[in-house]
Structure 1
């Protein structure tokens, strides 16, 4: 009986330790990464792979640059695969449900990015998001009607966290 009691207590203690470890662990957000760029400038970014309504793949990168504790930029970069070309300079229309949130200005012309890449100033858009409601991004695709990229709630949640991160 003593041997049985020892193992019973041992299993209970190990189980309690395991549950306490899990209960006290902070949530993990694996796709928000911090990149020191210079001594006083840091980039934070969230990377997602999403598909549009035409089932084409897009890499979606939301990033911000912080210099000396001040956010310098908060941009959304869209990379189309394979060979999708975006119209420039055309703003990105953003909606949540039936509500249009606004348009993100195209800043592609300020860089040397290829035609399948769009870069948009997203600071005013992200500041308006009050919930993790899915977003619709209406992409201005060259020589085609707009295509829609659906951003799921878990991505919107991560974007809002990125907006609040310093």
Structure 2
């Protein structure tokens, strides 16, 4: 038995209780360290770049670029374009670039987009006739971008040659960036 004294009383504790206190203090310390750790140390940084340039005379193009990895660990580049053609309405285009020599995208097949609420959306393949490279796809997401809910994540099902698909998980931070990009970039 161990004893300690509070103001006027003497409290006796069994030996097992005195061994419990150092463990509780250690646990409390670990919890405080975990809660005090900045999120940037725990979460990987986002690889996002916003760009603006003149694509052609009179045509301004804005881009949001992100890099994601597929289930096999290969990098994909996701580029969301916002184009302002002089005689047409604004278009949102998503270009997907897979690892060269590893993936060949199937054309013309639509991109399937699953939201975290279970909604299935599709985007039309813009490289229906010819792609600049076998690992590149480009899709019209003008109608899709307005249907995305706040703080949601997406799963992109990309059609590949030989009737295969690959699924990319797009985190909510990228979707939030796309929504901001769609509404704020003028």
Give TM-score, length-normalised by structure 1. Answer: 0.74
Please say if residues 64 and 71 of structure 1, whose CA atoms lie closer than 8 Å, have aligned partners that are also in contact. no
Match of residue 72 from structure 2: 54
Are residues 1:134 and 2:153 paired? Answer: yes
Aligned-partner Cα distance in 2 for 1:69–1:34 = 19
Aligned residues: 138
SS at match of 1:81: coil
Aligned-partner Cα distance in 1 for 2:63–2:94 = 10
Decide whether aligned partners of structure 1 residues 56 and 91 sit closer, same or farther in structure 2, where only a CA change above 3 A counts: same
Higher RCO, Cα 8 Å, sep 6+: 1
Decide whether aligned partners of structure 1 residues 30 and 87 sit closer, same or farther in structure 2, where only a CA change above 3 A counts: closer
Aligned-partner Cα distance in 1 for 2:71–2:149 = 25
Deviation at 1:70, TM superposition (A): 6.3
Are residues 1:44 and 2:38 paired? Answer: no
Are residues 1:114 and 2:129 paired? Answer: no
Stretches of structure 2 that go unaligned for 5 or more consecutive residues are: 1-46
Q: Name the larger-Rg structure.
A: 2
Runs of 4+ that moved beyond 6 A: none
Which runs of structure 2 are paired with 1:18-97 in the superposition (5 Å)?
31-38=49-56, 40-68=58-86, 71-83=89-101, 84-97=103-116
1:42-69 CA distances to partner (integer Å, 9 max, x unpaired)? 1010111111122221111110111359
Decide whether aligned partners of structure 1 residues 111 and 144 sit closer, same or farther in structure 2, where only a CA change above 3 A counts: closer
